[in-house]
Amino acid sequence: MVVRDRSRVDGTADRVVEADVFDPAAVAAAVAGADVVVNAAGHAATLDDADFYARAARSVVAALRALDQTPRLIVVGGFGSLGDGTGHQYADRPDLPASAAPEIVGQRDALTFYRGVGDLHWTYLSPPPGGIAPGERTGTYQLALDLIGDRDVASTLISMEDYAVAVLDEAERAEYPHACVVVMR
């Protein structure tokens, strides 16, 4: 597990390494030898830097490119790039709350960067626009590429537990290279 602040990790982990996501050399050293890297870089509390996720994406890609054996990359992303059924991305909707815009637009911009990366095996897993929340692990979820279709947004809410299962399933199966996949109920 690679974290930015080891002192904030509860419990014990077999291997905890501290690295700054914006330091490609540190990230490369931390993930060398891994088969799969899950990038779940996030921000602390409020985000006023819409470029945060794109910068993190560029750094992680640079780190992986520096390795002799390149692991697959799974990105825990956002829903800003998803189509809303009207042909628009959620990041471009006029009703986008100003407080959420840096996160939603930033995640969309990171995916735009990944889509230009052809030399690495990456998969971008989006939570649905209905949200992700603590809940029950049901073991079931639905996947879709780039949009939720004509479903009601509220019906797409996924539990964190089922989202985590979807991340692990993709890590094991590698079914969606170079794709944005939304995980929903």
- H or E segment and range at residue 184: strand 179-184
At 44 the pLDDT is: 55
With CA atoms as reference, report the closest residue to 39 among 51, 22, 49: 22
pLDDT in tens, 101-136: 888 899 999 999 999 999 999 999 999 988 899 999
**Which pLDDT score, from 0 to 100, does residue 100 have?**
83
Low-confidence stretches of the chain (pLDDT < 50) are none
State the burial class of residue 34 (Cβ atoms within 10 Å of its Cβ: 0-12, 13-18, 19+).
middle
Residue 14 confidence (pLDDT): 67
Q: Residue holding tokens 């509220």?
A: 154
Whether residue 71 contacts residue 18, with contact meaning beta carbons closer than 8 Å, is answered with: no
- What pLDDT was estimated at residue 93? 87
Predicted confidence at residue 97, as pLDDT, reads: 84
pTM of the model: 0.91
Structural contact between residues 115 and 178, judged by C-beta atoms closer than 8 angstroms: yes
> Rounded to the nearest 5°, which phi and psi values hold at 182?
-90, 135
pLDDT for residue 1: 67
How far apart are the C-alpha atoms of 168 and 164, rounded to whole Å?
6
Could you tell me if 75 and 129 are in contact, meaning their C-beta atoms sit under 8 angstroms apart?
no
* Beta bridge mates, 144: 182
Q: What is the pLDDT of residue 118?
A: 97
72 close to 37: Cβ distance less than 8 angstroms = yes
Residue type (1 letter), 91: A
Q: What is the pLDDT of residue 163?
A: 96
Residue-range domains of the chain with CATH: 18-184 (3.40.50.720)
How many whole angstroms separate alpha carbon 39 and alpha carbon 20?
Answer: 12
